[in-house]
Chains A and B, each alone.
Chain A
Amino acid sequence: DAMVIQNPRYQVTQFGKPVTLSCSQTLNHNVMYWYQQKSSQAPKLLFHYYDKDFNNEADTPDNFQSRRPNTSFCFLDIRSPGLGDAAMYLCATSRRQGADTQYFGPGTRLTVL
């Protein structure tokens, strides 16, 4: 089945130790999104790629970076995780920008010790 896959599902890192979260998709969608969802809060968009064009939200901390080496893969890099970065990170894809349906992966839960 076509889907959005996130690895790992659970990630533990130490304060200040760089970490990379991975997202892949078999939907061949042009747009990929990264959302941060803290405990008991709504998901919040960090950034998205439309094809190779990177779009950063104005309030996304510089600590968060992203790479999209090809259509299928997108990575979220957290350069120096702080305790406040502990959250569920959700990857989503859509065929086009606009009001197209976004398809979400299962998420990666990040714990920072």
Chain B
Amino acid sequence: AQSVTQLGSHVSVSEGALVLLRCNYSSSVPPYLFWYVQYPNQGLQLLLKYTSAATLVKGINGFEAEFKKSETSFHLTKPSAHMSDAAEYFCAVSETNAGGTSYGKLTFGQGTILTVHP
């Protein structure tokens, strides 16, 4: 089964600073990878997803992530943090079978809470 590991349960940055949230995956087949954001007491919103096209994926709100097979990583970045970016971020992998077909189940990492200081 595929899995993701998010390094750092809490990340704190200053407004305007670079945001880097780390995600490493484990998969024996090419994975489908996602980043979701969750604001307090709300559902999850998709930021971006990787589905084996371009390795650099651009998402909403200025976020992007780069798929690096050699490092089994899919880290999320944003050049300049904004106060409204404070939230919890989840990396997720879509479970696939040996043939690389996904049946839709998302397995999430433990989440990273991003705090943005003025």
Contacts and interface: CB of A to CB of B under 8 A. Distances in A.
Interface of A: 4, 6, 31, 33, 40-45, 48, 50, 57, 88, 90, 92, 94, 97-107, 109
A99 B94 contact: yes
Given A99-B32, A99-B94, A45 B106 contact: yes
Contacts of B111: 40-42
A98 B51 CA distance: 11
Interface residues of B, number: 23
A42 B109 contact: yes
Interface in B80-107: 90, 94, 101-107
Contacts of A107: 41-43
Nearest to B113: A40
B45 interface: yes
B56 interface: no
Contacts of A99: 32, 49, 51, 94, 102, 104
6 contacts: A4-B43, A88-B41, A90-B43, A99-B49, A101-B46, A107-B43
Contacts of B36: 104
Interface of B: 32, 36, 41-46, 49, 51, 90, 94, 101-111
B91 to A, nearest CB: 9
Contacts of B107: 45
Given A99-B51, A101-B46, A107-B42, A94 B108 contact: no
Given A42-B108, A42-B111, A109 B102 contact: no
A48 B104 contact: yes
A4 B101 CA distance: 26
Contact of B103 (A90, A98, A101, A109): A98
B94 to A, nearest CB: 5
